[in-house]
Structure 1
Amino acid sequence: MARKKIIAGNWKMNMTPSEAVELVNTLKPLVATEDADVVFCVPAIDIIPAMEAAKGSNIHIGAENMYYEESGAYTGEISPKMLTDVGVKYVIIGHSERREYFAETDETVNKKVLKAFEHGITPIVCCGESLTQREQGITIDWIRQQIKIAFLNVTAAQAASSVIAYEPIWAIGTGKVATTEQAQEVCKAIRDCIAEIYDDATAAAIRIQYGGSVSASSASELFSQPDIDGGLVGGAALKPDFGKIVNYK
C-alpha cells in the first residue's frame, strides 16, 4: 500500500493568536486535498485558536514541542495531557533548533517520543546533520545514531505509525536546499535503519519527510522520490505558497 504523503508546517516562534486565526483562514482553501495529510504545528499559545479556525477543514493542528512528564513542577512546559485534551494528534520532537538552543539530547528526544505514544500523539521525530558533519562524511552515521536512540523501546507498531523528518541543519532557513539526490540518499538510509531495528514491513510503513528550505518550486521533485513522503516546511508554511507545496503535483 502506498504511503500517504504528510506535509507539515512548522511555524516556529511566529504568529500571535489573532495572526494564527487569520493565517489558517487564508490557507484553508489553499491546502484542501485528500491526497496528503496536512498539519500545522504551531506555538502553544496558538493551538486552541488555530484548532477553532481549522474546524471543518482537512487541517490537523499539531504542537512544536512537549515535555515527557505527565504534570508537575516544570515551569513553562506543556504536558501530553494538555495537548490531547484539546485534540492535538501530532507533535514535533527533537527539532535541531530545540537541540541547539534548549539543550535537547537524543535521550530526551527518546523520552518525549515514548511519552507521545503513551498518549496517542504521533511524533514527528527530527534528525539532521550540520555542515561540518556533512563535509566530514559522517552524515549517515550521525543520523543512524539519532534514529536508533530516538526509537529505543519503541514498538514496531508505534514506529510504523510515526513520522521522521530529515532536516539537514545547514539547509534550515538558509535558502540552501539539499539536492534531490542528497535528500533521497539520507531518507533511504533512515528507512534502512528502521528496517534493521524492526523489519521491512515497519520500514515500508513509516513516513519520512524532508525539511530545509522546501519551496513551491522544489516540492514536486523532492516529494516524488521513493523514500520522501512529504515535507516539514518552515518559512514557506507562513505564506499562501504553502498551498502550492501541499498541492505539489
Structure 2
Amino acid sequence: MKNKFIVCNWKMNGNKKLVTEFIDEISESTRSQGQGIPPKIIACFPFPYLPSLSSCANSADFENTDIISLGAQDCSSEERGAFTGDVSANMLRDIGCDYVILGHCERRKYHKESDSTILAKALSAIKNNITPIICIGESSPCKFDIEIQQQITSSIPSDGKIIIAYEPVWAVGAPYEAVSSGHISRAISYIKSCIHPAEDRCLGVLYGGAANTINALQIMASGADGLMLGRAGMNAKEVLDIAQICSSNQKN
C-alpha cells in the first residue's frame, strides 16, 4: 500500500504570520486527534519561511506526529559557488528539508527550465537525501503521450526515491472541470506504466490542478496517490479536510 501525499505549494505567497498560524492549526488539530492523519502533508513555503517549520517540526508538538514534512519549491543543481540568488540542496537539507518541488510548469515557463536542468536538480536533491517531487504535464491534450514520455525519459533520474506530480499545463488557470476524471485516470495510469513495475523508487504519482475539498475524492478515485495543492494548500482547515478524504481512500 502506497502512502498518500498532500503537497502544499504556497508559491510566492504568504508571510510569517500566516505560516505560523498554518503550522499551529495543523499541530493543534493532530494533537487533539491523538495521532496523525495517514497522508503525509508536505509544506512548501517560500524560502524565507522554511526555518519556521524546520524549528517547529523538531519541537515537542511534532515529536510523535509524522504528518507534516518540510519541502522547498526549488533548488539549484550546483552544490556551492558563485550562483547569486540560488539555494543548494545541501543547504535545504541543512535546515531539515525532506522534499523539493522541481520542474513546476511555472518554473519551466518563467525560468525557461529544460528537462535536462530539472534532471540535474533532481540528482543533486537525491545526493543530499532530499526526495524530489518532479512535475510533468503536457501543453495540450493531443500532445499527451509524446510530451509526458519525453519528460519522464529526460527529467526523471534512473535511481533514487522520487515523487511525480502530474499537472496538465493546458488546464492551468482553468476550472477543475476542464479536466475530466477519465483524463486524470488515463494520465495517472500511463505515468505509472512508464515506471518499471518492479521498482519501488517512485513513492507516488500525485495530481495538481485546482484540487480542493469538493473534488479531492473524485481525483483520488482516479488513481492518484495524493494531491499538489495551490490556493487550497494555504488553508490549514482545508488541508486537514483533504487529508481526511485522502485517508478514506487509503486502500487504493
Q: Is TM-score (shorter-chain normalized) higher than 0.5?
A: yes
Counterpart amino acid of 1:241? E
Q: What is the total number of aligned residue pairs between the two structures? A: 234
Unaligned runs of 5+ in 2: none
Residue 146 (structure 1) aligns with: 151
| 2:100 maps to which of 91, 105, 111 | 91
Counterpart amino acid of 1:185? R
Unaligned runs of 5+ in 1: none
Counterpart amino acid of 2:10? W
| 1:232 maps to which of 211, 228, 232 | 228
- Give 1:217 shift: 1.1
* Percent of aligned pairs sharing the same letter: 31
Is contact 1:173-1:235 (8 Å) kept?
no
Q: TM-score, normalised by structure 1?
A: 0.88
Residue 183 (structure 1) aligns with: 184
Distance 1:6 1:70 in 2: 28
Does 2:36 align with 1:33?
Answer: yes
| 1:76 maps to which of 68, 77, 85 | 85
| 1:242 maps to which of 236, 239, 245 | 239
Distance 1:89 1:23 in 2: 19
Is contact 2:89-2:128 (8 Å) kept?
yes
Residue 194 (structure 1) aligns with: 195
Residue 44 (structure 1) aligns with: 47
Is contact 2:138-2:147 (8 Å) kept?
yes
Residue 19 (structure 1) aligns with: 18
| 1:107 maps to which of 105, 116, 134 | 116
Q: TM-score, normalised by structure 2?
A: 0.87
Is the alpha carbon distance of 1:187 and 1:219 closer, same or farther for their aligned partners in structure 2, counting shifts above 3 Å?
Answer: same
Is the alpha carbon distance of 1:242 and 1:174 closer, same or farther for their aligned partners in structure 2, counting shifts above 3 Å?
Answer: farther
Is contact 2:162-2:201 (8 Å) kept?
no
Is contact 2:136-2:151 (8 Å) kept?
yes
SS in 1 for 2:132: strand
SS in 2 for 1:77: coil
Question: RMSD of the alignment, in Å?
Answer: 1.8
- Give 1:203 shift: 6.3
The aligned runs of 1:146-225 (5 Å cut-off) are 146-152=151-157, 154-155=158-159, 158=160, 161-177=161-177, 178-195=179-196, 200-202=197-199, 206-225=203-222
SS in 2 for 1:39: strand
- Give 1:184 shift: 1.3
- Give 1:30 shift: 4.6
Distance 1:81 1:186 in 2: 33
